[in-house]
Amino acid sequence: MSWQFLIGISILLYSVSVLLQRVLLKDDQTEPISFSIFFQIGVATVIGILVLVIRGGIPIPDLSQISWSVLVMTALYALANIFIFKSLKTTEASRFTVIFSSKTLFAVLGSSLIFREGLTSAQWAGAILIVMGVIVIAIKDLSKKINKGDIFALFAAVMFGLANTNDRFLVQFFDPYSYVVIGFLLPGVAIALFYPKKLINFKIYFKKAFVYKMVILCLLYGLAAVTFFAALQATPNSSQLFSINSFGAILAVVFSIIFLKETDKIAKKILGAVISVAGLLLVNK
């Protein structure tokens, strides 16, 4: 399969999983940090079981050669998630979305500097248009003074972007399935060690009506991650892939309009989608 087809499948699965995630998080009993721990470990578990059933084992490379990079991956994704939680506690979701969308640019910059996988002028314009589309959709009021939550959102974007750059190196040693297992399990465990008291909330997620939906969510998101990392292995230019992948935020908004009937400010959402589609066409040149 071509990397374009793989990233397309990843974006589609990711967008569908975001809808399900929104439905689950509407439950008043859910709590962001415990949900993230349960979700990340859940993705690793579901994909791990799937691989064991289909392939009979999970191939793990010699970690002694890449231990430093695995530690960097664990730290960056764990810190990114912690900063996300801290940001959402003190800033509006719309402001967070705008600031966090800059993770694409940090990933592109990282790949350009470290792997020399940069973008042409037209592709840079496309990447910026995609991010602008996200901003148009999410923006409400950015005239307020910068607060601590905004700084945390920016830190999260930096960590996530750098983590994606590090992924480019690590996927050379793993197959996509085993990397998803490792890449979700280790950060989830790291956050659990940082917030052990949050584990008491796990009893909420094991309720029968909830756990079935969680399994579906973890499967969809896990397969989205598998196809993303498979595309990252196959692409000759990771900067181009990171830019295209950010279109998933736009597709999630389109799906929310269609399936969740989230039609507030629909004209602005359509404008943002059109801007991002134009950017997508430029990036894919």
DSSP codes, 149-165: HHHHHHHHHHHHHHHHH
For residue range 222-277, what is the model confidence (pLDDT) as tens digits? Answer: 999 999 999 999 999 998 999 898 888 778 778 777 877 777 777 877 888 888 88
d(CA 222, CA 49): 12
DSSP codes, 188-203: HHHHHHHSGGGGGGHH
d(CA 101, CA 105): 8
d(CA 233, CA 192): 30
Rounded to two decimals, what is the model's pTM? 0.87
pLDDT at residue number 143 = 59
Q: CA 120 → CA 83, 191, 277, 278, distances in Å?
A: 32, 38, 18, 16
Residue 3, amino acid: W
Number of CB atoms found within 10 A of residue 216's CB: 15
For residue range 182-219, what is the model confidence (pLDDT) as tens digits? Answer: 999 999 999 999 999 999 988 888 888 788 888 999 99
d(CA 54, CA 256): 33
Buried/exposed code over 107-124 (b: 16+ C-beta within 10 A; e: otherwise) = bbbbbbeeeebebeeebb
Q: Which DSSP helix (H) or strand (E) runs through 49?
A: helix 32-55
d(CA 106, CA 48): 30
At residue 92, the 3 state secondary structure works out as: coil
DSSP codes, 218-256: HHHHHHHHHHHHHHHHH-S-HHHHHHHHTTHHHHHHHHH
Number of CB atoms found within 10 A of residue 95's CB: 22
At residue 31, the 3 state secondary structure works out as: coil
Which region among 63-77, 134-148, 185-199, 259-273 has the lowest average model confidence (pLDDT)? 134-148
User: Does residue 74 have a pLDDT over 80?
Assistant: yes
Average pLDDT value for residue range 147-162: 88
d(CA 48, CA 30): 25
63 DSSP 8-state letter: G
140, 279 Cβ separation under 8 angstroms: no
Instruction: Take residue 194 and report the two structure tokens written for it.
Output: 């940082």
